[in-house]
Amino acid sequence: MTKQVCTSIFFLFGMLAARSQDIPMLDSLDLSQVPAGKISRFWIPVMRNALSQPVCVPVLVAKGAAPGPVLGLTAAIHGNELNGIPIIQTVFDRIDPSRLKGTLIAIPGMNVPSIDLSQRLFPDEEDLNRVFPGKPDGTSSEQYSYVAFQKIISQTDYLIDLHTASFGRVNAMYVRADLRKDTLARLARLCDADILLDGKSASTANAAAGRTLREEADLHGIHTITIELGDPQVYQPEMIRRGSVSIMNILSHLGMSDWPAETPPPAALCTRSYWIYTDEGGLLEVPVDTAQRLRKGDLIGILRNPFGDVIKRYYAPEDGIVIGKSSNPANRSGGRILHLGILK
């Protein structure tokens, strides 16, 4: 059975399940019609599959009884980045919508087709986080990203986009944000992160497709940060705890919640970062840990042939910190070793 047929069947039964749970399907999200003082659940269609069935994203909305900002949460824009889903669920378990000021909107599973297929990329083999702003008449991934942004994300004032590493890699917990902007710098420092990475915003002069969700939201005046939370295709309790604490801290900072904020330990601040790659093929050992600080010349990789002979050793080209690293020993020429952050 092909992936496309499997996906179609999944969505057909998914819609039947949604109806049986009395979760309404809305054409789009209209916050003026959402009841205040409670948590609401919706399915919102963003495209149709090959059997003409709607492909819907799950949406949670907690609309407070008092006015305030709108904070958005998105998880799993890559289908194998799952830690953000239970983080959103944990946050909604903790908040009291009758005491909330403002509105919390969450998509606990942005890339529905790829989550079902346990794959990173959208079914058309595109990276859903690299096709914004999308197009109403473009490819499948372009239409999906365009509609999801217009129907849901565009209504937020603040946005937290939750990610993990991809297959074959592991990450420290780190925040990517434009730290030159005071609002974003404050939000980033409220997170229980190992590392803060300065990631510049997109230029308004660049109107072509190919932006990330963070960059696209920023161009629409939405204050956005990205939180990277560990490893792919797993639930990691400690990352889930730290991620939910980070969001509750931000809710308190924005005056939306009276949940007591926690003071996170200081995070390492990186002004830039880059990946280091192998120039040979072989079986790779990376003898460092995520969030480990490195000195120039420290051993970061040992490459062996199948007989155990060392082909090459790799060393840190400069001082820095390990943001992420390869977890897959099988490495072709040009394979990733580690993601090195350069400390301020």
Domains of the chain from N-terminus onward: 3-253 (3.40.630.10), 274-343 (2.40.50.100)
pLDDT at 201: 72
**pLDDT of 204:** 45
How far out from the chain centre does Cα 133 lie? 17
pLDDT score recorded for residue 200: 80
pLDDT of residue 96: 96
Separation between Cα atoms, residue 344 and residue 339, nearest integer Å? 16
Q: How far apart are CA 63 and CA 315, in angstroms?
A: 52
List the chain pLDDT tens, one digit each, 344 residues.
444 444 444 444 444 444 446 899 999 999 999 999 999 999 999 999 999 999 999 999 999 999 999 999 999 999 999 999 999 999 999 999 999 999 999 999 999 999 999 999 999 999 999 999 999 999 999 999 999 999 999 999 999 999 999 999 999 999 999 999 999 999 999 999 999 999 887 654 454 568 999 999 999 999 999 999 999 999 999 999 999 999 999 999 999 999 999 999 999 999 999 999 999 999 999 999 999 999 999 999 999 999 999 999 999 999 999 999 999 999 999 999 999 999 98
Residue 104 pairs in a beta bridge with 62, 71
Supply the pLDDT for residue 20. 42
Query: Would you call the peptide bond into 232 cis, given omega within 30 degrees of 0 as the criterion?
Result: no
What's the N-to-C CA distance of the chain in angstroms? 52
For residue 173, list its beta bridge partners. Answer: 229
- pLDDT for 202 equals 63
Cα separation, 42 vs 26, in Å, equals: 7
The tokens describing 65, both together, are: 């009884």
The confidence score (pLDDT) of residue 17 equals: 44
What letter would DSSP give residue 15?
A: H
Helix (H, G, I), strand (E, B) or coil at 140: helix
283, exposed or middle or buried, with CB in 10 Å at 0-12, 13-18, 19+?
A: middle
* Residue 283 φ/ψ, nearest 5 degrees: -105, 120
Neighbours of 279 (CB within 10 A): 10
Residues 6+ apart with CB under 8 A from 317: 276, 296, 340
Q: How far is Cα 240 from Cα 90, in angstroms, rounded to an integer?
A: 8
CB under 8 Å to 19, separation ≥6 — which residues? none
Judge contact between 284 and 332, C-beta under 8 A. Answer: no
Cα–Cα dist 225/189, whole Å: 11
Q: Can you give the pLDDT at residue 209?
A: 60
Q: Are residues 267 and 194 in contact, defined by beta-carbon separation less than 8 angstroms?
A: yes
Count other Cβ atoms within 10 Å, centred on residue 33.
9
Query: Secondary structure of the chain: what % helix, strand, coil (to 5)?
Result: 25, 35, 40
**CA dist 302 to 220, 279, 290, 335, Å?**
45, 12, 17, 13
Picking from 286, 294, 285, the residue whose alpha carbon sits closest to that of residue 322 is: 294
pTM for the model: 0.92
